[in-house]
Amino acid sequence: MEAAAIIILVIITGACFVRLYFYKKEIKSLTSKIRFIYEEET
C-alpha cells in the first residue's frame, strides 16, 4: 500500500514539473513577443 502511494505521489510530482516547464516556456514566448512590440513601437 505504501509503494502505491509513493508511486502516485511521484507521478503527480512529475506532472507538476511538466506543467511548470510548459508555463515557463510560454512565459518566455510572451516576453519575447512583448519585447518585440515594445522595441518596434507598432
CA angle 6, 8, 11 (to 5 degrees): 110
| Separation CA 6–CA 27 (nearest Å) | 31
Please tell me the predicted confidence (pLDDT) of residue 1. 83
Give the pLDDT confidence of 1-42 residue by residue, as tens digits: 899 999 999 999 999 999 999 999 999 999 999 999 999 866
Please tell me the predicted confidence (pLDDT) of residue 42. 60
For residues 24-34, one letter each, b for 16 or more C-beta atoms within 10 angstroms of the residue's C-beta and e for the rest, the string is eeeeeeeeeee
